[in-house]
C-alpha cells in the first residue's frame, strides 16, 4: 500500500505549478553562455581521499561544475521476476484509489526530477519504458519520445500515441486533470508518494516496484541504494571540515534569468538533505526558509552563504556568474558572491533522488572540495 502524502511532498506538489511555469519561461529563450574559467569536478576515478583537497574550502575562488563521469543507470538485475496483476492504492488529492496493473509492457514514469524513470531503469525494466519527461535525460532514456511540452506540462496526445499500459507519477507535474484523464482512457495511473530525500530514494524504489509487480527487486534496489548512499556520505564526511566554523555555508538557488525568476529552496525541498550529505551547513534551514519561495534580498543577507548551488541551465540563463551578480547585486555582497563560489550541476541530476544519488553526491563533493 502506498502511504499518505508527506509534508515534504505536499510542499513539492504545491510548488510544482509555480516551477513548471518557471521552466516554461526558461525553456522559451536560448541560454546565455557561462563565464569562461568554470572548471569541471575532479576525475571520478580517483577516490575522494586522494584528491588534491583545498586546505580551507571557504577560501576557494571561482565557480566549478559537478559532472557525472557516467550518468547511466545500472539496473540491480537484468531480468526481474514479476507478479502480475499488481494491486496498489494510489494516494491522490481526492482520496485513495485502488489501481490494478495488468501489464507493464509499456511504461511511463513522470515527475519533475526524473527520479521515477531512473528508478524504473534501476529495477531492470528500462526496456519497457516508452517515453520520457523533460527531466529524464540519462543514457538509455534520452532518446525516448518526449511527452512533456512547455516545460513540465504533460501532453496527453503524446502520451496516448505511445499506448502506455501503466503510468507512474508523483503529482509534481501535470496538469493533474490531464493525468487523471489518461486513466479514463484506459491507462493504469499510479501516484507514488515519497519525500525528496536520501531515505526517500529507497522508499521510491519500493513503491515503484510494487506498482510494477517486482516487490523483491524493489527491496533489493532499496537496500543497495541505502548502503551506497551511506558509504558515500561517510566518504565525504572524511574529507569535509570537521569543525562547525570550518564547514561551508550553502544554499540552493533556482534560476531562470531570462524570465527574472529566482527561487530559494529550503527545508522540505530535498536541498537540505543534499547540503548536509556533502558536509555543508544548510543556510536556508538556519533562517527558517521552508519549501520553495522567491528569493529576497533579506534572506540572502541573513544567510550569507559561502557557496551557492545552482542548476547548470539556470546559471546559463542568468548569463553566468557575472550576469547573475549584475542582475542581483545583493548576491555579490555574500561570501559566495565575493569569491564567485558557485557550483552548478545538470538540471536533471542535482535534485534527482534515486539510483544516481550516490554518484551525484560524489560529483558535488569533488566540485566543492577539489575544484
Q: What is the mean pLDDT of each run of 10 residues along the chain (371 residues)?
A: 40 41 38 44 79 93 94 94 96 90 98 95 98 94 90 90 97 92 97 93 97 98 98 97 94 86 86 95 88 88 95 94 94 96 94 94 96 87
Strand partners, 281: 249
C-beta of residue 130 within 8 angstroms of C-beta of residue 151? no
Instruction: Return the axis-axis angle of helices 357-369 and 215-239, rounded to nearest 10°.
Output: 10
pLDDT, tens digit, for every residue of 276-330?
999 999 998 888 887 788 898 999 999 999 999 999 999 999 999 999 999 999 9
φ, ψ of residue 337 to 5 degrees: the values are -65, -40
User: What's the pTM value of the predicted model, to 2 decimals?
Assistant: 0.88
What is the CB neighbour count within 10 angstroms for residue 294?
A: 11
- Look at residue 272 and give its three-state secondary structure: helix
C-beta of residue 241 within 8 angstroms of C-beta of residue 247? yes
What structural domains does the chain harbor?
A: 12-72+240-369 (3.40.50.1980), 86-226 (3.40.50.1980)
d(CA 318, CA 255): 7
d(CA 115, CA 109): 8
Encode 201-222: b = buried (16+ Cβ within 10 Å), e = exposed. Answer: bbbbbbbbbbbbbbbebbebbb
Strand partners, 309: 252, 343
What is the CB neighbour count within 10 angstroms for residue 76?
A: 22
Amino acid at each position: 500500500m502506498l502511504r499518505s502524502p508527506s509534508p515534504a511532498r505536499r510542499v513539492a506538489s504545491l510548488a510544482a505549478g509555480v516551477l513548471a511555469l518557471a521552466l516554461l519561461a526558461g525553456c522559451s529563450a536560448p541560454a546565455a553562455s557561462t563565464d569562461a574559467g568554470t572548471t569541471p569536478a575532479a576525475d571520478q576515478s580517483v577516490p575522494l581521499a586522494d584528491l588534491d583537497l583545498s586546505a580551507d574550502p571557504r577560501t576557494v575562488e571561482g565557480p566549478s561544475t559537478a559532472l557525472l563521469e557516467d550518468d547511466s543507470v545500472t539496473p540491480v538485475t537484468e531480468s526481474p521476476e514479476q507478479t502480475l496483476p499488481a494491486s496498489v492504492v494510489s494516494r491522490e488529492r481526492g482520496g485513495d484509489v485502488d489501481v490494478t496493473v495488468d501489464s507493464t509492457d509499456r511504461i511511463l514514469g513522470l515527475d519533475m526530477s526524473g527520479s521515477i524513470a531512473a528508478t524504473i531503469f534501476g529495477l531492470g525494466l528500462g526496456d519497457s519504458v516508452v517515453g520520457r519527461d523533460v527531466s529524464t535525460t540519462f543514457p538509455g532514456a534520452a532518446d525516448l519520445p518526449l511527452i512533456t511540452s512547455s516545460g513540465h506540462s504533460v501532453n496527453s496526445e503524446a502520451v496516448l500515441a505511445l499506448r502506455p499500459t501503466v503510468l507512474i507519477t508523483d503529482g509534481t507535474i501535470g496538469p493533474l486533470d490531464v493525468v487523471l484523464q489518461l486513466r479514463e482512457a484506459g491507462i493504469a495511473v499510479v501516484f507514488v508518494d515519497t519525500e525528496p530525500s536520501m531515505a526517500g530514494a529507497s522508499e521510491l524504489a519500493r513503491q515503484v516496484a510494487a506498482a510494477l509487480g517486482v516487490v523483491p527487486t524493489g527491496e533489493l534496489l532499496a537496500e543497495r541504494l541505502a548502503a551506497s548512499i551511506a558509504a558515500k556520505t561517510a566518504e565525504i564526511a572524511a574529507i569535509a571540515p570537521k569543525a562547525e566554523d570550518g564547514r561551508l555555508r550553502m544554499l540552493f538557488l533556482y534560476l531562470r534569468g531570462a524570465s527574472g525568476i529566482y527561487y530559494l529552496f529550503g527545508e522540505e525541498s530535498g536541498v537540505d538533505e543534499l547540503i548536509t550529505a556533502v558536509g555543508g551547513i544548510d543556510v536556508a534551514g538556519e533562517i527558517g526558509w521552508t519549501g520553495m519561495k522567491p528569493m529576497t534580498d533579506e534572506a540572502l543577507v541573513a544567510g550569507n552563504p559561502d557557496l551557492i548551488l545552482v542548476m547548470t541551465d539556470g546559471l546559463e540563463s542568468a548569463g553566468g556568474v557575472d550576469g547573475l551578480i549584475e542582475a542581483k547585486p545583493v548576491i555579490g555582497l555574500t561570501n559566495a558572491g565575493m569569491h564567485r563560489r558557485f557550483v552548478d550541476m545538470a538540471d536533471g541530476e542535482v535534485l534527482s533522488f534515486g539510483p544516481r544519488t550516490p554518484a551525484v553526491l560524489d560529483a558535488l563533493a569533488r566540485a566543492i572540495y577539489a575544484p
